Amino acid sequence: VEAYQSFLWNQVARELVQTAAPADTLRAEDDAGVLAFPRPASVPPDLLRLQLPQPAHDAAVPQPAAAAYSKVLASHGLTLDALRIPGLRRPAFGAAERPLFVRATGVSLSPPSRDALAPARSSKPFSRLATFSLPRGAYATVLL
């Protein structure tokens, strides 16, 4: 339940940022679709402070995100009210809030070194170690 709920939350966040991002935003595609990376100065202040609840039947969805929740849930044939498991108290979909944007601190990148896991004749035989800190409750889903 928690993994699926996080998956839905990430899709809502992706949709919300994609929709709000200005035209000159860097966009990249991964297996789940397009990711938008707006310049920090172009992110509206209300989105910078936005706390998004995990999708749950009792989630109080803030207005700037309502359309994103509806679109994402509809694409899975769901509504917020449908996020219940009949007859069970646990596991359950809880409506805990997570910030849409967080600031990573202490970001560092090691010098390139030989990647012990790269095949012997790899055209990219090097790796780098990224280290950083995030606030409590934040996840490193995307760090650019």
Tell me which of 83 and 144 has the higher pLDDT.
83
Alpha-carbon span 11 to 74, nearest angstrom = 12
- Inform me whether the pLDDT recorded for 16 exceeds 70: yes
**Following DSSP, what letter does each residue of 36-63 receive, concatenated?**
EE--GGGS-HHHHT-EEEPS-TT----G
Mean pLDDT value across the chain: 90
Q: How far is CA 85 from the centre of its chain?
A: 24
pLDDT tens-place string over residues 81-137: 999 888 887 888 888 999 999 889 999 999 999 998 888 888 889 999 999 999 987
Task: Answer yes or no: pTM beyond 0.85.
Answer: no
Given this model, what pLDDT does residue 22 score? 87
Given this model, what pLDDT does residue 44 score? 87
Given this model, what pLDDT does residue 15 score? 93
Counting every residue written for the chain, the total comes to: 144
